[in-house]
């Protein structure tokens, strides 16, 4: 038999659990496809499940009354969607939308709460991941206020690359503009600058990274700050 291409171990939080904690959860983890644009939850709605992405990336998004929007953080195979479930809030003012299509493992909220309340390794990992997520949100806010669009785009591309196995990203300029909360014309100019510098290659709906080190050199300190904090807080979780 061919081995399954999907495994909960593709999510770094689940992979780091000891067998005694993972096995009771394993039978309840439901593999689901996450197509691009799928809404996992909307602002103010009761969350029913936590999602542990494996190959998908999910954007935590805020939409204003005017319709303008921006991403506060992204979550891939390093984390979990639904931190308000174990923090006690159950609802959130943000939405969660699939940014990169893929898969995730879904866990019913009651089971997540039970596992969290058992005060084992999962609880400690989820709390430390939440601190890393807060760092990402804070750094995103500062970056969007003080750094150039070219730098913001480099940060966003690098964080996305860290969560996928390919150098080619399936993403439109409209989506990037929505993530960064800027006009599409600005993204067109920024991607053009990076393309002329030899860092990326663009074609409709695709961006291929040609020179990652070039992106890192052009990015502001925000990418390194987020990466360092994630590594510090989850040092016992195998990250890429």
Question: How many residues appear in the chain?
Answer: 240
- Regarding whether 104 and 27 lie in a shared domain, the answer is yes
- Same domain, yes or no, for 19 and 138? yes
Mean pLDDT of the chain: 89
Structural domain range at position 213: 148-219
What integer is the mean pLDDT of 3-8?
A: 76
Percent of the chain with pLDDT over 70: 96
Task: Give residue-wise pLDDT tens across range 163-172.
Answer: 888 888 888 8
Are 131 and 168 in the same domain? no
Please tell me whether residues 84 and 137 are part of one structural domain: yes
Confidence of residue 1 (pLDDT cuts 50, 70, 90): very low
Residue 201, pLDDT > 60, answer yes
d(CA 55, CA 6): 9
Say how far apart CA 176 and CA 207 lie, in whole Å: 11
Q: Do 130 and 35 have their domain in common?
A: yes
The CATH number linked to 193 is 1.10.10.10
What average pLDDT does range 53-61 have in this prediction? 93
The CA–CA distances, whole Å, from 98 to 34, 36, 119 equal 7, 5, 30
How many domains does the chain fold into? 2
- Residue 42: inside a domain: yes
Q: What is the pLDDT of residues 107-120, one digit of tens each?
A: 999 999 999 998 88
């Amino acid at each position: 038999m061919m081995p399954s291409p999907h495994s909960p171990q593709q999510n770094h939080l689940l992979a780091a659990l000891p067998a005694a904690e993972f096995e009771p959860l394993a039978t309840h983890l439901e593999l689901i496809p996450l197509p691009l644009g799928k809404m996992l939850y909307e602002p103010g709605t009761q969350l029913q499940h936590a999602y542990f992405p494996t190959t998908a990336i999910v954007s935590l998004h805020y939409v204003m009354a005017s319709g303008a929007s921006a991403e506060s953080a992204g979550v891939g195979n390093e984390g979990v969607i639904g931190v308000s479930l174990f923090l006690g809030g159950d609802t959130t003012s943000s939405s969660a939308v699939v940014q990169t299509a893929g898969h995730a493992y879904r866990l019913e909220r009651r089971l997540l709460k039970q596992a969290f309340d058992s005060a084992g390794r999962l609880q400690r990992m989820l709390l430390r991941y939440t601190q890393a997520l807060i760092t990402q949100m804070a750094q995103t806010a500062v970056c969007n206020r003080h750094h150039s669009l070219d730098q913001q785009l480099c940060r966003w591309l690098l964080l996305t690359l860290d969560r996928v196995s390919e150098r080619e990203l399936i993403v439109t300029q409209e989506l990037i503009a929505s993530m960064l909360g800027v006009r599409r014309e600005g993204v067109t100019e920024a991607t053009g600058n990076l393309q002329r510098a030899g860092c990326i290659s663009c074609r409709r709906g695709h961006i291929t990274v040609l020179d990652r080190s070039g992106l890192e050199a052009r990015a502001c300190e925000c990418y390194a700050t987020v990466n360092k904090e994630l590594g510090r807080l989850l040092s016992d979780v195998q990250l890429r």
